[in-house]
Amino acid sequence: MIVSEMSSSLCELAPGRAMCATGVAMGHAGEYLQGVIEDGGERHSVLITIPTPELGSRVHFGPAIGGGLESDPSWKRKSRRAFELAWKSLCDSPPAGCLRIDSDLPVSRGMGSSTADCVAAIRAAAHSLGRSLRENLVARLAHTAERSSDATMYGSRLMVFRHREGRVHRKLPGVTPPFDLVIVESAQGAHPVDTDRMPRPDYTRAEIAEFSQLLMRFNAAAGRSDLAEIGTIAERSADINQRYHPLPGLLETRAIARAFGALGTAIAHSGDIQVLLFAPNILNAGVQHDLQRELARAGIAVWRAFTRRERLLKSADACL
Any residues with CB less than 8 A from the CB of 243 and at least 6 apart, and which? Answer: 201
Separation CA 195–CA 110 (nearest Å) = 8
Q: Quick check: 25 and 116 in contact, CB under 8 A?
A: yes
Separation CA 34–CA 313 (nearest Å) = 28
How many domains does the structure of the chain reveal? 1
Instruction: Report the relative pairing of strands 300-306 and 180-186 from DSSP bridges.
Output: antiparallel
CA distances from 92 to 1, 211, 274 (A): 18, 44, 44
Any residues with CB less than 8 A from the CB of 49 and at least 6 apart, and which? Answer: 28, 30, 31, 32, 112, 150, 151, 152, 159, 161
- Output the domain CATH number for residue 260: 3.30.230.10
Per-residue pLDDT of the chain (320 residues; tens, 9 = 90+): 222 222 333 344 444 478 999 999 999 999 999 999 998 889 999 999 999 999 999 999 999 887 889 999 999 999 999 999 999 999 988 999 999 999 999 988 899 999 999 999 999 999 999 999 999 999 999 999 998 899 999 998 999 999 999 999 999 987 789 999 999 986 555 566 666 666 789 999 999 999 999 999 999 999 999 999 999 999 999 999 999 999 988 999 999 999 999 999 999 998 899 999 999 989 888 999 999 999 999 999 999 998 865 555 555 444 44
Domain that holds residue 270: 2-318
pTM: 0.88
